[in-house]
Amino acid sequence: MRIAYLGKKGKLKAAMAQMGTVSKEDRPKVGQHANEVGAKIEAAFAEAQARIAGASGGAGAGIEMLKQERLAKLKRYNEDPQIVAKYGKDAAWGGKFENVTPIAEALKKFPPLKEGEQPKSETAFGKVRIAARMTLRRDQSKKLIFLTVQDQDASMQVALWNQKLNEQTLALLRDTLDLWDIVGFDGELAYTQKGEPTLWATEARILSKCILPPPDKHHGIHDKEIRYRQRYLDLIASPESRRTFILRSKAVARTRRYLDEKGFLEVETPVLQTIPGGAAARPFKTHLNALGIDMYLRIATEIPLKKLLVGGLEKVYELGRLFRNEGVDYSHNPEFTTFEAYQAYGNLDDMMALTEGLVSTLAQELTGSTTITWRGKPVKFAAPWPRLDYCELLKKHAGVAYDDEAGLDRKLKELGEDPSGMTHVDKIDAVFGSCAEEHLWDACFVINQPVEMSPLCKAHPQNPKLAHRFEAFAAKLEIANAYSELNDPIEQENRLTDQFGKYMNDDLDLLSEYQDQIDKDLADLENRVNSLKASSPITDAETSSVAKVLAQLKEENSLVKNLVRYGVHIAHNLVQSGKLGSNQKFADAFKNFARTSEISDRSRKFLVDLRSSNQSRHKDLLKIFERFSDPSLLIDRDFLCALEHGMPPAGGMGMGIDRITMLLAGADSIRDVILFPLMRPEEKQP
RNA sequence: GAGGAGGUAGCUCAGUCGGUAGAGCAACGGAUUUUUAAUCCGUAGGUCCGGGGUUCGAUCCCCCGCCUCCUCACCA
């Protein structure tokens, strides 16, 4: 790089290229000499450059040069006297362009050729105006240029020919029209001699200039990062991407129409909530300045929608964005789109009919078949979908009964997971997730989940241990989830309280263990240091550095212990306050947590540092404290109050639009069906 | 969070057992009046992701960091 200015044919460079012929022993000498010469030339060059600097901006390099070239053409086009006379100032930045015919429609004006029929290039099929982006250019000569242009749905050929188009316009466009410019054409439709439907332009003007170089005209953009970050490029360059997002839009519109036709009312409920309820995910936190309170982005729409059932709106749905502060992978994006629908006086059966009806309709209408192909394998969506019993699936694929605690533990260990610290429900879920879900390929309903897994769901009418619930799966993905909704406020409160109390009890145990562990660790460490000291003589410097480390560790451990003691204290208070149904009590306990004098400033700072650092040593401790402040465990009094006014029995269902779209569009990743998926921000150049 | 792959011209990608980086497309100049990823001749274009180290010499080897993808884990 240092002697790049010598150019590809620079003498020094040519000499360096001969290095391979120099004997190995002589290479260092030659190289050293070359460096000396190179440094001298470089210095002289730098000096010369410094003298010239300021005189001009320099040629510029790379993308900047390409941009300058396009800007020069823009200027030339905009300042052309004819263009100014016809369109006024800044013509290349366009304006309203009326009566445009979509390319797909223009193409329909060409009568289909019969087998073996020669197209008559002299016959015209009418005049149209089109507006489109120019993606390919084939200059035959100064008199004839073929272009390929594309609009949203189709592409076609345009010819700029001196027999049809004014010579001056042709000459100007020949010099100033770049790939990816957006152009408006008036012209006649006629075949070429080779039978290509073509618009023979009689008038053409640039409507918008593309001043950055476009990607490879044939390969398009392969870099997925660019496709996600700059989706507009992907949409222009990849027809399949355009098709996917058009399909997604149609799927959303069709879903709305399907629900509307069934008499559902579309409603909108708050995205900003004080208690993010209805699901067990962690929420995004934000702050409302006006009221000085923390708020959360919704993780589900379930609770407000049920309040509307109480209010007498009998069939409601909301289609919109949910936000979950969880992992990101091929089937999860932090913000995603679902719809939830609730039907008063209905139950699970209505929701099944709704789900399989809607999804098979979408598949049929948008892909032309109720069987689609995903990752190379067919997935059947034709209704009715099989109903599969959760516990039977568990038994069949994992070989354990859902209430067989020891069997579940055994299976988990087989799978390489540690069952300790997991709740019974976690275990069932983990085993089901690893053993059974992978067999759920064709669309199906999994029913009769254990009731503990479904806190907002009615128990099964025939078996109080089971939930009256289904999860719909296709291609191993969960695509929908439905309940016969729980409307008994007392039962509902008990379930929420149980869920909360369970966590607190577990955490209490964990904290005690943690405290013991810390004592043990520190003792071990001291023993090891002592035995080291005893076994081998060490220098004073070493002694003092060991002492220093040990002191640091002790200090850290005392801070951790302080935290643990405090955590135990809170957990005790919370659990022993008996009935935890009162949201206020819980909130007060948290206020205490933040303010208490029992937790020293140093410990609090330590906790803050712990949160911001990626240190994994005290990850478990941190997790427990995170759980103490987990807003999804807050008990929503308002919701219980609504239920106390009477909610009609109802069926409710939620469906993931992104995942349905993935399946319908054949997309491997959720990022391929979200226009602007979450990406880590790029580092800004200063 | 763990492991694996990757980051080279505007785009798509080669390459260097460490000796000063190449092709196609795009760009620029020219030829060409029915092409269609047009063709032909010529020209220019690079912080080889960033920072350190080893070396006469690093795009290549070593260390640290950033970003992306894939697999797994987490996420009803």
- For strand B, which residues in window 312-331 of chain A come within 7 Å by CB? 324, 326-330
SS3 label, residue A375:
coil
Which nucleotide has the shortest C1'-to-CA distance from A64?
Answer: B10
- For strand B, which residues in window 145-184 of chain A come within 7 Å by CB? 146, 148, 157, 161-163, 178-179
Give the mean model confidence (pLDDT) for residues A449-454: 82
Q: Which residue is nearest to nucleotide B46 (CA to C1')?
A: A62
- For the cut 70, the answer to whether the pLDDT of residue A611 exceeds it is no
Radius of gyration of chain A measured on its C-alpha atoms: 35
A224 touches strand B (CB under 7 A): yes
Extended beta strands in A241-370, E state: 265-266, 272-273, 285-288, 293-297, 315-323, 335-344
Dist CA A334 CA A441 (whole Å): 25
- For the cut 80, the answer to whether the pLDDT of residue A472 exceeds it is yes
> CA A298 → C1' B67, Å?
30
Dist CA A518 CA A618 (whole Å): 10
> CA A684 → C1' B12, Å?
26
Among A242-246, A402-406, A503-507, name the one with the lowest average pLDDT. A503-507
Give the DSSP H or E segment for A304: helix A302-310
Tell me which of A390 and A25 has the higher pLDDT: A390
Among A10-24, A46-60, A625-639, name the one with the lowest average pLDDT. A46-60
Which nucleotide has the shortest C1'-to-CA distance from A180?
Answer: B26
A332 touches strand B (CB under 7 A): yes
CA distances from A347 to A311, A481, A487 (A): 18, 13, 12
- For the cut 90, the answer to whether the pLDDT of residue A357 exceeds it is yes
Name the percent of chain A lying above pLDDT 70. 80
Which nucleotide has the shortest C1'-to-CA distance from A147?
Answer: B36
Give the mean model confidence (pLDDT) for residues A191-202: 94
Dist CA A571 CA A501 (whole Å): 10
- For strand B, which residues in window 350-409 of chain A come within 7 Å by CB? none
- For the cut 80, the answer to whether the pLDDT of residue A416 exceeds it is no
Tell me which of A248 and A598 has the higher pLDDT: A248
Find the angle CA(A229)-CA(A233)-CA(A236) to the nearest 5 degrees.
Answer: 145
What pLDDT does residue A58 have?
38
Which nucleotide has the shortest C1'-to-CA distance from A3?
Answer: B20
Count of CA atoms in the C-beta half-sphere (13 A) of A495: 19
- For the cut 90, the answer to whether the pLDDT of residue A211 exceeds it is yes
Dist CA A231 CA A224 (whole Å): 10
Angle separating helix axes A619-628 and A489-535, nearest 10 degrees? 160
CB A252 within 8 A of CB A656: no
Give the mean model confidence (pLDDT) for residues A165-194: 96
- For the cut 90, the answer to whether the pLDDT of residue A8 exceeds it is no
> CA A216 → C1' B26, Å?
7
Q: Which residue is nearest to nucleotide B55 (CA to C1')?
A: A28
Dist CA A411 CA A409 (whole Å): 5
CB A91 within 8 A of CB A183: no
Terminal-residue alpha carbon distance, chain A = 23
Name the percent of chain A lying above pLDDT 90. 44
A525 touches strand B (CB under 7 A): no
Which nucleotide has the shortest C1'-to-CA distance from A121?
Answer: B34
The chain-wide mean pLDDT, for chain A, equals 83
Dist CA A202 CA A159 (whole Å): 9
Tell me the whole-structure pTM to 2 decimals.
Answer: 0.81
CA distances from A475 to A252, A430, A442, A445 (A): 20, 18, 6, 12
- For the cut 90, the answer to whether the pLDDT of residue A61 exceeds it is no
Find the angle CA(A656)-CA(A662)-CA(A667) to the nearest 5 degrees.
Answer: 160
Extended beta strands in A462-558, E state: 469-474, 477-484
- For the cut 50, the answer to whether the pLDDT of residue A501 exceeds it is yes
Give the mean model confidence (pLDDT) for residues A484-491: 90
Q: Which residue is nearest to nucleotide B19 (CA to C1')?
A: A19
Dist CA A590 CA A599 (whole Å): 13
Dist CA A521 CA A625 (whole Å): 21
Q: Which residue is nearest to nucleotide B31 (CA to C1')?
A: A141
Give the mean model confidence (pLDDT) for residues A155-182: 96
A333 touches strand B (CB under 7 A): no
Most confident of A38-42, A61-65, A183-187: A183-187
Which nucleotide has the shortest C1'-to-CA distance from A140?
Answer: B32
Dist CA A377 CA A380 (whole Å): 10
Give the mean model confidence (pLDDT) for residues A222-251: 92
Which nucleotide has the shortest C1'-to-CA distance from A302?
Answer: B76
Tens digit of pLDDT for each residue in A267-323? 999 999 988 888 878 788 888 899 888 888 999 999 999 999 999 999 999 999 999
Q: What is the DSSP string of A12-42?
A: HHHHHHGGGGS-TTTHHHHHHHHHHHHHHHH
Give the mean model confidence (pLDDT) for residues A116-121: 75
Most confident of A12-21, A434-443, A563-572: A434-443
CB A318 within 8 A of CB A652: no
What pLDDT does residue A282 have?
79
A664 touches strand B (CB under 7 A): no
> CA A553 → C1' B13, Å?
52
pLDDT band at A79 (very low <50, low <70, confident <90, very high): very high
A619 touches strand B (CB under 7 A): no
Give the mean model confidence (pLDDT) for residues A567-595: 53
Chain B footprint bases within 7 A of protein beta carbons: 1, 9-13, 19-22, 24-28, 31-39, 44-48, 56-57, 59, 66-76
- Cβ neighbours of residue A212 closer than 8 Å, sequence gap 6 or more: A63, A66, A67, A70
Tell me which of A57 and A667 has the higher pLDDT: A667
Dist CA A400 CA A305 (whole Å): 37
ipTM of the complex: 0.91
